Structure 1
Amino acid sequence: MKRSFYFSFILIFLTQWAFSQTFTMEEVGKFSFPSELTSSATGEKIAWAMNEQGKRNVYMAEGPAFTAKKLTDFNEDDGQEISSLQFSPDGNWLVFVRGGDHGGGNASSTVNAQNLPILPNVEIWKINLESGKVETIVEADNPSIGKDHQLLYVKAGQVWTVDLASSEKPVQLFEIKGNVNELSYSPSGDLAFVVNRGTHSMIGIFRNKRLPIQWVNPSFHRDSNIAWSEDGQKIAYIRRPGGRGAAFPELEPRHSPWEIWVADMNTGDSEKLWEAPETLAASYIYPFFAFSGNDHIAYLSYEDGWQHLYAIDINSKETKLLTPGDYMVEQIKQSPNGEKLIFSANTGSEQEDLDRRHIGTVDILSGKLTWETSGEGIEAYPVWVGNSGKMAFFSADAQRSHLVAIKSGNDTKLLGESIIPSDFPQDQLVTPKQVKFTAPDGTTVYGQLFEKEGGNSEKPGVIFVHGGPQRQMLLGWSYMDYYSNTYAINQYLANLGFVVLSVNYRLGIGYGYEFHKPSGAYYRGAVEYQDVKAGGEFLASLPQVNGNKIGIYGGSYGGYLTALALARDSDLFKVGVDIHGVHDLDGRYSLSANYEQPSDIDKARQVAWESSPISDLSTWTSPVLFIHADDDRNVNVSQTVDLIRRFEELDKPYKSIIIPGDTHHWMKWSNMVKVDQATADFLKKHLMD
């Protein structure tokens, strides 16, 4: 009897020991994250930025060996991001911006996450690839490289220039009314630009300081998205309505028209080639727009219900769908000869590919579509390398975080594997499982379930809700830094003993137009909250989960939905962490004073109020931790300040953390780890201890 007791005791001890936490938040937070992948127009050079625990540097590799080489030496967790990385046309220089927060509003404003007495600058830097010299050019943002090493940038809405190869000071290229916000060189060296004049925007051509600006079919509209033909004789662009239109309460979305035009630079004539069908799905304009090398214009549209590539023949005006199927296309680049497109998409031979990304290529003229990658990985942000069909892209899976990969024919090579720290717990991470459940209105909702094998028979559960909301969480490491971080948190929570469900709720991408743009969402009724609640109920119903121990956390839009969940359903969601969430939506309707339909605006504001977490504070009983950085450029810190004041006036308990000086994206790595650890500790305290 005594022997049986000791055997049982040892078995329980060994089981608990095997399921104990096996890595720290700091260790899993050391995931590698590349960004800004770019390739040279000549030769086989690629470059990218790499974030290594807040130390952001530029790397380069060159064919045929493609050995990763670190070019800069920024060795401090200082919160200074690297963006706008690009080669000069001859491939001899690299240019980048250091500083700012280009994932948020006011991107060019300095970030002082270290809280230094003297503010850092947002600066344009250059790297001489022959000498290896790295130096600052100017305090500015938004660089663009033209002919003869001419660097352009926009400052205070005006275009400035400086020679990369000289030490001369920058000079203003020309003076113009309004704010320039787009620059594009023709193959012959003419500079096209878009100038915003408030109510309308126009495309101008600058040739030299002696000739007047040439306007391309000026009108009372908004023209943008400059695309030159290969010979520089034509320019394509997108035209949208000007002004603000009649003020109206957006109780329901309406069609937003847009058109594709092409102008002949020799005659000055412009012609409308295409206009979006008058449907909601066709209303949405996406960034990719290119003039191909065979008299076609390639563009991205939602017109068939999925985000797909199309091509229009500028001579016949016939359009064709290049990427048919129930999947979305993003992150597109055109080949150097203008004949092919490369992109990332959520499709493949397995159902799980709906929640992954793979690389595809398509020939614009023939429409031949080739899938370059497949399997259980996540591949994103592809670029062409040279002229022989080689390509580079980001590559990850459920365990290994993103690295740059080179694909040549059937061979794929990972670059820079040695940068992954030895204590990064890659082999201890779980593979999330794709699950789906049904919202009360019948909508099918997908999610990823994180769970470590073994442990208690009834584990606590956590719902994670992403931000955006135009995002999709994947069955592996995200190609966005913010969501690689939350993926790391979910892995940590699973390792701790939670069952974690990441919910891809409506308003997110990857599941078609109706899912992405549902009626009655956000300030129009928050219909997407149905998906979050359904996810909580699904998680609570799992046999291995204790339905009385369900928590929730999320940031940004996920913070909004976390607050909504705690305010409306504290009985289901026992605890939550609301990270820089939105709480008051009434401000969506600050319409002009001459609005003549007060009954409609009153109704719209009432719906917005009822869609806000602050409208349900009386039923909010669950413990909550509020976290916000006070230099947030995406969600103003006032959203959390106001909610905390309401809590205090109602004598409701709460915990809070303010991060001085940082932004929405935790530019300082140590701040990111602090927030992550606080999130996990708060959930653990209320659901495990």
Structure 2
Amino acid sequence: MKFRLHLTFLLFSVFITMARSQTGLNLDVVKSYPFPNELTAAATGSRIAWAFNEQGQRNIYVAEGPDFSARRLTNYVQDDGQELSSVALSPDGKWVIYVRGGDHGSNWGDELPVNPTFSPTPPKVQIWAVPFSGGEPKALGEGEEPVISPKSDKVAFAKGGQIYTAPIDGSASPVMLFSARGTNGSPVWSPDGSRLAFQSNRVDHSFIGVFTDAKTPISWIDPQYKRDSSPRWSPDGKKLVFVRANGLGGKPDSILVRKHIPWSIVTAEVSTGQAKTLWTAPKTLSGSVPNTHGGTNLHWAADRIVFLSYQDGWPHLYSLTEQGGKPLLLTPGNFMCEHIQLSADGKSLVFAANAGTDPLDIDRRHVVKVSVSQADMKVMTPGAGLEWFPVLTGDGQTLAFVSATAQRPPLPCVMPANGGTIKLLATDRLPANYPAADLVTPKQVVFKSSDGVTVHCQLFEKAGGSAKKPAIIYVHGGPPRQMLLGWNYSDYYANAYAMNQYLASRGFVVLSVNYRLGIGYGYEFHNAKNGGSNGASEYLDIKAAGEWLAKQSQIDPKRIGIYGGSYGGFLTALALGRDSKLFAVGVDIHGVHDRTVERARSLVLPDQYERAPDADRALEVAWKSSPVAYVNTWKSPVLFIHGDDDRNVRFSQSTDLVRRLEELGVPMETMVIVDDTHHFMMHANQVKVNKAIAAFFEKKL
């Protein structure tokens, strides 16, 4: 009897193991990871704060040295789609401020409320303050772009194109500081908190203004026929430095030809407004205005002016004296710098970079530290992990950042500022049943496209399985993004990483493609010839990825699918239209489908006599770069998914393509996410989308 029971139990255990290996991971559990962002530090002391998204419940967490025990400050317990952004600590560390609501990753309308729960009373986009020691959050007013005074007593913010202030403790209603023409924003306090610099955007030009008080007229700093931006104060508060680019206008130029976009760094005496050009970018393509995270990343450090430039082919940090001269390259090497932060004492910078001694580091992120006055950069977190969003505490003793591996989801952590042991924070927020050990380690894949461009990918594949497996291409959005050999620092792409892991657990081989126009591989890759509306050359990389998969011995070449969101949706649709024989099925999530929409009239019928010499040709190329141009050769089944409050890609892009394919009888399924945005702000909506993607692939492949 005991033998029979033991044998029955053994067989049952084998059955459960086999069933688990066949069914893969549980998607709800895979999506249960917390996601930290908005990591920040006070200008004094050892206090840090961040936002945590725990299955749609977004809250502010804080920690303080020396133990850095994580503590939750707010109590938002609903999955209601209300993001937390612009998290900041007051210089004295006593207050945390944040913006709740909106969708600040949008191309337009980021300040508008998001209401995916269909509440009859729509939410507001508000600035809040909460004591670091604990207590009820206090609403300071509706607005965005909040910045705290150096005195830690009040907050300036933008609302409706004007600048307001409010006491940080919420003791009084906000007041408008001034009324000025244009859209006024990007406020920056002077070091003593007595004045406020800001940018006044006036469409074809913009000015830098300085507000002092209600009795003193606004000072306009060297107003020109230019677009001035990014004002930064000198440590003594006597000068400003800012970025100057050309104003709009001039003779219409060729659209299809790549051209230099000039910019310069200008300093000015605040008292007189007298300005001088400190440095002008090289007149080369790579010398153009940088378009990676933070743009020029301008800072006035303790005794140097620091900025980022692509001039040597990589987005690197440089510094200048306030007298100008030749910039000092702080970060030589073939890697990019992003998420750049200046230390409180102004003497050093910390940033994330795909740098290190391991050849695989080109597809990772590590924390790097460098002085502002010498090229002494040091990779602080070498190894096989991934680290980003670094900040130095105000006392200069601790380096805080977010850390992940290929298996463990991102968590905030700290280490001594000069290096040492890393301590993970808030580990109790990761669910006890999270299947980190069951996630595969993606493998780096490198190949060349048909025109010779080198393309990096990540391959997700579970050991074992059938002799001929179905495969899926994943195409990221952006396009200036880079998928990594582990979790991503963007919540949108962390979701994609989790989804690729889930699909791999279900027996699919997944290849995530870092196609040209993406970041991480230098200027020419990021700003590729004939890309986007000028020819969609990036599609060559997607096709090459499909062909690479088809040649692998373990892949069934007749069962290759493709999916992606945003720009990834565009390339998915292009693949299904151009190459249905290669891509058997696809899922297009809020993709762009007609690249002539909203630009045709400005090209061929501009509001002026002149037009670009290649306007007709540019319009034709844009059409041939669009999925709608290939509907007649589209045969593969497709699932369309789109939120109808999308503020990055208009919902009409999907409505139009669906109608075209319906008329041709192309097999399709559709899903509309009502009143949610491009980023699926509700956790439940994102899980719903993920389950639909997986179900569609399992049914079709």
- TM-score normalised over the length of structure 2: 0.94
- For 1:246 and 1:389, the matched residues in 2 are separated by 54
Give the match's secondary structure for 1:151.
strand
Give the match's secondary structure for 1:219.
coil
Structure 1 residues 87-96 or 51-60, which shifts more? 87-96
2:637–2:667 CA contact under 8 A, matched in 1: yes
1:471–1:509 CA contact under 8 A, matched in 2: yes
TM superposition shift of 1:652: 2.5
- For 1:255 and 1:411, the matched residues in 2 are separated by 45
Q: Does 1:388 align with 2:401?
A: no
1:277 corresponds to which of 258, 276, 282: 282
1:486 corresponds to which of 493, 496, 518: 496
1:248–1:595 CA contact under 8 A, matched in 2: no
2:254–2:613 CA contact under 8 A, matched in 1: no
Which position in structure 2 is the counterpart of 1:326?
A: 334
- What amino acid is aligned across from residue 577 of structure 2 in structure 1? A
- For 2:68 and 2:469, the matched residues in 1 are separated by 47
- For 2:535 and 2:337, the matched residues in 1 are separated by 29
Give a deviation string over 1:236-260, Cα, whole Å, max 9, x none.
Answer: 0000111233334521221111000
1:590 corresponds to which of 594, 601, 604: 601
- For 2:383 and 2:609, the matched residues in 1 are separated by 55
Mapping of residues 128-143 of structure 1, within 5 Å: 128-143=131-146
- For 2:249 and 2:693, the matched residues in 1 are separated by 42
Q: Does 1:153 align with 2:167?
A: no
- For 1:532 and 1:540, the matched residues in 2 are separated by 13
Which position in structure 2 is the counterpart of 1:659?
A: 673
- What amino acid is aligned across from residue 538 of structure 1 in structure 2? W
Q: Does 1:614 align with 2:628?
A: yes
- For 1:325 and 1:130, the matched residues in 2 are separated by 43
- For 1:135 and 1:166, the matched residues in 2 are separated by 6
Which position in structure 1 is the counterpart of 2:116?
A: 113
Q: Does 1:675 align with 2:686?
A: no
2:145–2:186 CA contact under 8 A, matched in 1: no
2:180 corresponds to which of 176, 179, 184: 176
TM superposition shift of 1:438: 1.1
Mapping of residues 187-206 of structure 1, within 5 Å: 187-189=191-193, 190-206=195-211
Mapping of residues 79-118 of structure 1, within 5 Å: 79-104=81-106, 105-118=108-121
Give the match's secondary structure for 1:359.
strand
Give the match's secondary structure for 1:330.
strand
Which position in structure 2 is the counterpart of 1:164?
A: 168
- For 1:55 and 1:665, the matched residues in 2 are separated by 15
- For 1:15 and 1:405, the matched residues in 2 are separated by 35
Give a deviation string over 1:580-599, Cα, whole Å, max 9, x none.
Answer: 00000113343223253576
- What amino acid is aligned across from residue 476 of structure 2 in structure 1? H
- What amino acid is aligned across from residue 86 of structure 1 in structure 2? A
Give the match's secondary structure for 2:422.
strand
1:343 corresponds to which of 332, 337, 351: 351
Closer, same or farther: CA 444–11 of 1 in aligned 2, 3 Å: farther
Give a deviation string over 1:241-291, Cα, whole Å, max 9, x none.
Answer: 112333345212211110001112344321101111111111123141101
1:420 corresponds to which of 430, 441, 453: 430
Give the match's secondary structure for 1:282.
coil
Give a deviation string over 1:604-647, Cα, whole Å, max 9, x none.
Answer: 11100001001011110000000000000000100000101111
Give a deviation string over 1:24-79, Cα, whole Å, max 9, x none.
Answer: 11111112210111100111000000000000000000011100000000011000
1:194–1:224 CA contact under 8 A, matched in 2: yes
- For 1:232 and 1:124, the matched residues in 2 are separated by 27
- What amino acid is aligned across from residue 464 of structure 2 in structure 1? G
- What amino acid is aligned across from residue 210 of structure 1 in structure 2? K
- For 2:146 and 2:394, the matched residues in 1 are separated by 23
- For 1:24 and 1:466, the matched residues in 2 are separated by 23
TM superposition shift of 1:206: 1.1
1:369 corresponds to which of 349, 353, 377: 377
Give the match's secondary structure for 1:298.
strand
1:352–1:434 CA contact under 8 A, matched in 2: yes
Which position in structure 2 is the counterpart of 1:255?
A: 260
Closer, same or farther: CA 138–596 of 1 in aligned 2, 3 Å: closer
Q: Does 1:289 align with 2:298?
A: yes
Q: Does 1:605 align with 2:619?
A: yes
Give the match's secondary structure for 2:177.
strand
2:45 corresponds to which of 40, 43, 46: 43
Give a deviation string over 1:116-155, Cα, whole Å, max 9, x none.
Answer: 1221111111102245232222222221211351111111
2:479 corresponds to which of 469, 477, 482: 469
Structure 1 residues 621-630 or 242-251, which shifts more? 242-251
Q: Does 1:214 align with 2:219?
A: yes
- For 2:536 and 2:565, the matched residues in 1 are separated by 17
Closer, same or farther: CA 13–163 of 1 in aligned 2, 3 Å: closer
Closer, same or farther: CA 161–599 of 1 in aligned 2, 3 Å: closer
The number of residue pairs the alignment matches comes to 678
Which position in structure 2 is the counterpart of 1:308?
A: 316
- For 1:169 and 1:15, the matched residues in 2 are separated by 61
Give the match's secondary structure for 1:464.
strand
Closer, same or farther: CA 335–125 of 1 in aligned 2, 3 Å: same
2:278–2:324 CA contact under 8 A, matched in 1: no
Q: Unpaired runs of 5+ in structure 2?
A: 1-10
Percentage identity across aligned positions?
A: 48
Give the match's secondary structure for 1:680.
helix
- For 2:313 and 2:132, the matched residues in 1 are separated by 45
- What amino acid is aligned across from residue 45 of structure 1 in structure 2? R
- For 1:523 and 1:206, the matched residues in 2 are separated by 42
- For 2:102 and 2:424, the matched residues in 1 are separated by 30
Give the match's secondary structure for 2:325.
coil
- For 1:522 and 1:281, the matched residues in 2 are separated by 18
Which position in structure 1 is the counterpart of 2:7?
A: none
- For 2:659 and 2:684, the matched residues in 1 are separated by 28
- For 2:45 and 2:132, the matched residues in 1 are separated by 13
- For 2:173 and 2:451, the matched residues in 1 are separated by 62
1:306–1:328 CA contact under 8 A, matched in 2: yes
1:399 corresponds to which of 386, 403, 407: 407
Give the match's secondary structure for 1:586.
coil
2:570–2:592 CA contact under 8 A, matched in 1: yes
Give the match's secondary structure for 1:573.
coil
Which position in structure 1 is the counterpart of 2:125?
A: 122
2:660 corresponds to which of 646, 667, 672: 646
1:249–1:589 CA contact under 8 A, matched in 2: no
- What amino acid is aligned across from residue 263 of structure 1 in structure 2? A
2:138–2:170 CA contact under 8 A, matched in 1: no
